[in-house]
Amino acid sequence: MKRRVIERHMFYGAKKGIFLKAISLRNNMTEAEELLWEELKNKEIFKDRWKRQHPIDIFIVDFYCHKHKLVVEVDGEIHLQEEVKEHDNGREHDITKLGIKILRFTNKEIFEEIESVKSIILQEINS
C-alpha cells in the first residue's frame, strides 16, 4: 500500500480542527466554487496541483496552489457587508504575511466571465 506524504509546510501550522472544518466545506461548496473547481483541476489548462477548501494557519481558503503560493477566493454577496469586508481584509493581511498572493473573484465573475477569471489566474501563475 502506497502512503501519501503530506507536505506539512503547505498548511502553515493549521491544527486538526481546521482540517475537519475544511472537509465539511469541501462537501458543501457553493455553485460558483464548484464551477471554478472544475476549471482549476483541469491539468490541460492549470498544470499544477490545486487544493480546494485548503487550511492555512487558522484560515480555510477556497483554492490554493502551493507551487505558486497562490490563493483564489470566490466571494458571494455576503462579502459586500462592511463587517465581512473588515474580516476579509484582516485575513488577507495575515495570509499575505506568509508570502502568499490572493486573487479574489465574485460569484458573478465566475458565472459570467469564467474565461477572464481563468486568464487572470494564468497570468498570475506565469508572472
Phi then psi for 44, rounded to 5 degrees? -70, -30
What is the reported pTM?
0.86
Residue 104 CB contacts under 8 Å (≥ 6 apart), including other chains: 72, 73, 75
Report pLDDT digits (tens) over 102-116: 999 999 999 999 999
* Residue 17 forms part of a structural domain: no
Give pLDDT, residue 85.
67
Mean pLDDT across the stretch 60-81? 87
* Residue 55 forms part of a structural domain: yes
* Residue 54 forms part of a structural domain: yes
Q: What's the structural domain count of the chain?
A: 1
* Residue 37 forms part of a structural domain: yes
* Residue 13 forms part of a structural domain: no
Give pLDDT, residue 114.
97
* Residue 4 forms part of a structural domain: no
State the chain's mean pLDDT as an integer: 88
* Residue 19 forms part of a structural domain: no
Domain range for 39 is: 30-126
* Residue 88 forms part of a structural domain: yes
